[in-house]
Amino acid sequence: MLQPPHSNLHILTSLSDAALALLISACRLTILHATDLVNFQLAYSEYVSLASKARLSTLSSGAVAVGGAAGARVWGREVCRGEWERLIGLGLLVPVIGTGLGGGVEVGAGKGGGSGMVRVDVALEEIPGVLAGGLTGVMEKWCKQL
């Protein structure tokens, strides 16, 4: 009997806003740069860029006065590093140790908090579907607009 493939998507509902923002940023990078691999520094830079643009947009529209900046908060590097490690621990990011002699990628349980490369185990388009109604408007926009 065929079984559906294992999926970690149910875990998305338990993630903090910072973890979701990093995961979305990592997913965006894989699309924008046509790669399977990202690291914390790249994902954090993408996140800061997205959040800063969202914050500027809400400031210019005057939406901050009524709470429109929700989801545009820029979390600090150390907070995000902890959330990145949590994403690895949950299996949503899979650390890549290096390439083997045959050109294949060896996957291990190394730390991904620095320059260590990871493979994202979630597709960007899956996130809004799983979290329907649970994403801030800003993060939903990040998932849909590249």
Give the type of residue at 19: A
Question: Quick one: pLDDT at residue 8?
Answer: 74
Q: Which domains does the chain have, with CATH numbers?
A: 15-144 (1.10.10)
Q: Which two tokens stand for residue 82?
A: 């902890």
Q: What is the pTM of this model?
A: 0.79
- Please check whether residue 83 is in contact with residue 18, taking contact to mean a CB–CB distance below 8 angstroms: yes
Q: Report the percentage of the chain scoring pLDDT > 70.
A: 73
Q: What are the tens digits of pLDDT across the range 8-43?
A: 788 898 999 999 999 999 999 999 999 999 999 999
**pLDDT tens profile 44-68:** 999 999 998 888 876 665 554 444 4
Q: Which two tokens stand for residue 74?
A: 């820029």
Percent of the chain whose pLDDT exceeds 90: 51
Answer whether residue 89 shows pLDDT above 50.
yes
Q: Which residues contact 143 (CB under 8 A, 6 or more apart)?
A: 24, 27, 124, 125, 127, 128, 135
**What's the pLDDT score for residue 101?**
39
pLDDT over threshold 50, residue 102 = no
- Which amino acid, one-letter code, is at 114? G
Kindly state the DSSP code that residue 96 receives in the 8-state scheme.
E
